Amino acid sequence: MSVNQNVIDQSIALAGIAQSVRVVQHLAWKGHTNLTDFKAVIASLLKIDAPSAAGVFSGSFEVSSGLRLLNQQIDPQHKEKDPEFVSLIINVMSLQSQLKKKPELMELLSTKIQSLSTQFKDADFYNDDAIFNQLVENCSDIYKQTLSKLSNRIQVKGEPNFLKQPEIQAQVRAALLAAIRASFLWRQSGGSRWHFLFKKKDLLESIRLLLSNPIKE
């Protein structure tokens, strides 16, 4: 099966959004999430000049959870659908579009992400929880200084006992920042909402190819 490289990039970027959103859902409803999936999407914030979507995520395998979620949600044969999951993805894409219309906030976000990358790109946050927790806090602060300033904020539903915990709040904001980063990647690779109407078959083929044959950077 031959799949266009743009569609591959779109699929990986969309998987990054999906995986980030599922991290948010797990944190909000369960108070914890898959740490490997979480670290994979947070790590993407540090890859600023990667040549492809696969490069941003250090290979498509790192967003395998996101790819499986997409396969389930896009494929009409799958009966288990998650309306909240889909709604969060739409809200992330809408917030990203709103941010594009605010050049000063865009510039601030870019500067903050650049600084974050410089500070943590060589840090061993995969094996050091203290470093990862600090990275998450920094991502949360960036979200508060930029995306929280927009009028249409993302409303996250969940268990109040979890959502009121500062640590969970910081983790949710960090995961949402990663989702916004992946949304920019989705747009840059030519993705749009029309794809879910007219390019669904191409996306599904690409997603399934990546699940069966993961690619490296």
Sign of the Cα torsion 36, 3, 18, 93 reads positive
Domain of 51? 5-212
Q: Is the dihedral of CA 201, 202, 205, 210 positive or negative?
A: negative
Check residue 171 and give its pLDDT: 98
Quote the percentage of the chain above a pLDDT of 90: 77
Question: CA–CA separation, 44 vs 52, rounded Å?
Answer: 12
User: Does any domain span residue 41?
Assistant: yes
pLDDT for residue 26 is more than 70: yes
Q: Which residues of 57-84 are buried (b: 16+ CB within 10 A; e: fewer)?
A: bbbbebbbbbbbbbbbbbeeeeeeeeee
Q: Is the pLDDT of residue 71 over 90?
A: yes
Q: Considering the domain boundaries, does residue 217 fall inside one?
A: no
Mean pLDDT along residues 98-104: 93
Query: Is 162 domain-assigned?
Result: yes
Contact 186, 10 (CB under 8 A): yes
Nearest-10 crossing angle of helices 35-43, 5-30: 130
Residue 151 clears pLDDT 70, i.e. is over it = yes
Does residue 90 carry a pLDDT above 50? yes
Token duo for residue 207: 């997603």
Which of the four pLDDT bands, split at 50, 70 and 90, describes residue 20?
very high
**Could you tell me the CATH number of the domain that includes residue 39?**
1.10.3890.10
pTM: 0.94
Query: Phi, psi at residue 4, to the nearest 5°?
Result: -60, 140
3-state class of 74 per DSSP? helix
Average pLDDT over all residues of the chain: 92
Q: What is the pLDDT of residues 166-210, one digit of tens each?
A: 999 999 999 999 999 999 999 998 877 766 656 788 889 999 999
| Number of structural domains in the chain | 1
The mean pLDDT of 156-169, rounded to a whole number, is 97
pLDDT (average), residues 11-19: 96
